[in-house]
Amino acid sequence: MIETTPVTPTSPTTSSASPSASRRKSGHYRFARLGDRFIAFALDTALLFGLFAVADARVFMRLGWVEGSELQLTTASLLIAITLNATILFLYGWLLEAKFGATLGKAMVGIRVVGTRQHGALSAAAMRNVLRIVDGLGLYLVGTAVAVCSDVRQRIGDICAQTAVIEESFGIGIKVTAIVLWIATLVGAGWAVPRICSTNNPVHTRYLGQVVVRIGRTGNSAYVRIGRFTLDAQLATTAP
């Protein structure tokens, strides 16, 4: 879970010479590098996109229609998909950081979230993840800019939740478990999505049933139509 402890930076020499347990007892840590945090974020994003794909496929196949090679998405299907994605995103970060102090991406990279002041783990993790809405503006340019200017590399969510991200030497068992779960999730999503999309059993909703997005292909091009706006993409063809 998120530990509550005074967080004091250590020099690289002291940190490398002292084991993680000693640093934890003394309250001295090395703050996680922004590069490591970005790698962890990329790993978590890949996993989340796998979960999003499964959830969205189920929603679109139930509340959308397939006509020929065109998928038609209703207002209801889009709203429910967005709500599910936001819920999955929040619960993934909130529960794992509150319980273990790290998501799968953080565990694989070797970084962890700790509290800098007395604060409940659940509330601190909730605050930190809710404020991703602000930190994520401009493809996380806001959060990155704030972290770069912070002495302890805190983004807005960390500042408000009174947390910090530090380096952590997780055991080999934890790292292997995180890697296995990460791979299993992506492989499972890759297996499930085509099977979900192979069957269309639409449910006609009384409200918000208007088709607002059409996705399909004609010949060697794919298209997305939103109202009167159409985006066409030419598909690559191989020469005979």
Of the pLDDT bands very low, low, confident and very high (cuts 50, 70, 90), residue 76 is very high
- CB 103, CB 96: distance < 8 Å: yes
pLDDT score at 130: 97
Asked whether residue 19 carries a pLDDT value surpassing 50, the answer given is: no
Asked whether residue 15 carries a pLDDT value surpassing 70, the answer given is: no
What would the pLDDT profile of 194-221 be if each residue is shown by its tens digit?
A: 999 998 888 887 888 899 999 998 888 8
Of the pLDDT bands very low, low, confident and very high (cuts 50, 70, 90), residue 6 is low
Average pLDDT value for residue range 69-96 = 96
Q: Select from 172, 173, 155 the least CA-distant residue to 164.
A: 155
Which of 85 and 14 is assigned the larger pLDDT? 85
What backbone torsions phi and psi does residue 103 show, to the nearest 5 degrees?
-80, 175
Asked whether residue 91 carries a pLDDT value surpassing 80, the answer given is: yes
pLDDT score at 17: 34
Alpha carbon distance 72, 232 (integer Å): 16
Give the chain's mean pLDDT. 87
Q: Select from 124, 140, 188, 138 the least CA-distant residue to 42.
A: 140
What would the pLDDT profile of 37-53 be if each residue is shown by its tens digit?
A: 999 999 999 999 999 99
pLDDT score at 145: 96
pLDDT score at 21: 47
pLDDT score at 116: 80
Residue 80 has which token pair?
A: 């429910």
pLDDT score at 233: 86
CA atoms 72, 77, 82, 87: torsion sign: negative
Computed over its alpha carbons, how large is the radius of gyration of the chain? Answer: 22
Residue 181's CB is within 10 A of a number of other CB atoms, namely: 14
What would the pLDDT profile of 139-167 be if each residue is shown by its tens digit?
A: 899 999 999 999 889 999 999 999 999 99
What would the pLDDT profile of 113-138 be if each residue is shown by its tens digit?
A: 998 877 789 999 999 999 999 999 99
Alpha carbon distance 85, 10 (integer Å): 38
Q: What is the DSSP string of the chain?
A: ---B---EE--HHHHHHS-HHHHHHHTEEPBPPHHHHHHHHHHHHHHHHHHHHHHHHHHHHHHSEEETTEEEEEHHHHHHHHHHHHHHHHHHHHHHHHHHS--HHHHHHTEEEEESSS--HHHHHHHHHHTHHHHTHHHHHHHHHHHHHSTT---HHHHHHTEEEEE----HHHHHHHHHHHHHHHHHHHHHHHHHHT-------SSS--EEEEEEEETTEEEEEETTEEEEEEPP----
Percent of residues, the chain, with pLDDT higher than 90: 68
* Sequence-separated (6 or more) residues with CB below 8 Å from residue 180: none
Cα angle 140, 145, 150 (rounded to 5 degrees) comes to 125
Average pLDDT value for residue range 175-180 = 97
pLDDT score at 209: 87
Average pLDDT value for residue range 183-203 = 94
Q: What is the pTM of this model?
A: 0.85
